[in-house]
Amino acid sequence: MKDTLKKVIFGRKEKYWWMNILVPFISIFLAFIVGAIFIKTTGRNPVVAYKLLFGASGLFPGPYWKGHFAEMLLSSSMFIATGLGFAIAAKGGLFNIGAEGHFIVGGITAAYIGYAQPFASLPKIIHLPLIFILAMLMGGLWAAIAGYLKAKRGIHEVITTIMLNWIALYLIEGWLVIGPMKAAVETGVSGTPYISQTAKLPKILSGTRLNISIIIIIIVLYLVWYLFYKTTLGYEIRAMGHTLIFGMESPKASGINVERRTIQTMFISGAIAALGGVFMVLGILFQYPPIFEGGYGFDGIAVALIGQNEPIGVLLAGILIGALRTGATSVQLAHIPKTFPSIIEGFAVAFIALQALVRYWLMKLIRLKKSIPIKIEGDAK
């Protein structure tokens, strides 16, 4: 049981496989230390800052814990969505930085289906799933454009996803929201009209804003894990990712339709990132505002990288980043700007990039203690 679990979660049979798990944790730990040094050098008190940060993060019980906990899970579900979107493409060897665009495409679709008339009078049980399906479809198609151009024309996905991000932003905020989807002037609402009651996500914790988004994203996480490790499609995606940097020949030789898989991977990636936008509109904003508070797409990249592109890692990293963001508003009490968590996030990613160094340190530690038999190492064999 323990062995299968290990294999299933990490899928590696290396000698020092536990390092793969340890590296993200050490990276985060080091990031907090460097963050503390940074606060110290700018003349503020790191202990107070971290106390405030974690006190309001929702991770630990304390005053107003229920509210913080709910807010943490709310934002975590969006970070997990964009992180998972990035991770899926990354597994297939594609660098999809379009999550920002997929996020807003999902959001605007959710807003439109949420308020537009033939849909808005549907019963909730039909309306809500319909929104999810259509928004994910739109987000997926938006990403599939980049996949198509990569597969058929060989255009680098980085460049197309950047362009598509901006195109989505301007078409939505420079046209749809101020044009055809604008709320009627007499309602006094800026942005799109508010979605109907049947489109709002059901709440699961009374007295807070917490809704079913976190449950949905955990189901999606499981499905993605299933896709990766239990289906042929997932196997082929991973095969592509492993070999892409050395040329596309080997997966092709073993009969994988690389072009098709590229488009499919991008579609799934975009559809899941779009989920984040749906959560935002159906659970928090209830409309598409004139200017969308963005950034979830790019933070999703960090979440995926800290989580090493594994579903379980993305879950943990998403919760961590969500918690930091929730706690961030209260670090302002210590006169520290609320963007402070991005600093820790950045350092954590930097240490992930430096994992060769972290591994080198760990190996040194092991060699120092060579006389003492290491139990975990024996397990792995």
Partner 1 sequence: MNNMSLLNASIAQTLDYAAPILFAALGGLMSENAGVVNIALEGMMRFAAFFGVWGAFISGSPWVGLLWGIGIGILLGILHAYITVKWAGDQIVSGVAINVMAIGIITYLLELVFQTTGYSPPAPYFGAEVNRIHLTFLKNTPILGAFSDLTIFVWFSLVLVIVLHFILYHTVLGLRIRAVGENPRAAETLGVNVFKIKWFAVILGSIFAAVGGMSLSLGTLSSFTNSMAMGKGFIGLAAMIFGKWTPFGALFAALLFAFAQVLQLLLQSTVSGFAKIIPLGFYLALPYLLTIGALIGFIGRAIGPAADGIPYKKES
Contacting positions for partner 1 (CB under 8 A): 38, 42, 95, 97, 149, 153-156, 158-160, 162-164, 166-167, 170-176, 178-179, 245, 295, 298-299, 301-302, 305, 336-337, 339-347, 349-350, 352-357, 360
Quote the least distance from Cβ 299 to partner 1, whole Å.
Answer: 8
Quote the least distance from Cβ 163 to partner 1, whole Å.
Answer: 4
Cβ nearer to partner 1, comparing 159 with 363 = 159
Cβ nearer to partner 1, comparing 205 with 248 = 248
Quote the least distance from Cβ 68 to partner 1, whole Å.
Answer: 21
Quote the least distance from Cβ 2 to partner 1, whole Å.
Answer: 30
Q: How many residues does the chain have?
A: 381
Distance from C-alpha of 61 to C-alpha of 357, rounded to nearest angstrom: 35
The residues, any chain, with a CB within 8 Å of residue 311's CB and separated by 6 or more, are 84, 87, 221, 222, 224, 225, 228
- Angle, CA of 203, 320 and 15, to the nearest 5°: 130
Quote the least distance from Cβ 34 to partner 1, whole Å.
Answer: 10
Query: CA-based diameter of the chain, in Å?
Result: 79
Cβ nearer to partner 1, comparing 7 with 152 = 152
Distance from C-alpha of 291 to C-alpha of 246, rounded to nearest angstrom: 42
Quote the least distance from Cβ 344 to partner 1, whole Å.
Answer: 8
203 bridge partner residues: 211
- Angle, CA of 345, 346 and 347, to the nearest 5°: 95
Cβ nearer to partner 1, comparing 56 with 328 = 328
The residues, any chain, with a CB within 8 Å of residue 97's CB and separated by 6 or more, are 86, 158, 161, 162, 165, 297, 298, 301
From 324, 313, 323, select the one nearest 70 (Cα to Cα): 323
Cβ nearer to partner 1, comparing 149 with 214 = 149
Quote the least distance from Cβ 302 to partner 1, whole Å.
Answer: 5
Cβ proximity of 323 and 72 under 8 Å: yes
The residues, any chain, with a CB within 8 Å of residue 162's CB and separated by 6 or more, are 97, 98
Cβ nearer to partner 1, comparing 173 with 310 = 173
Cβ nearer to partner 1, comparing 217 with 321 = 321
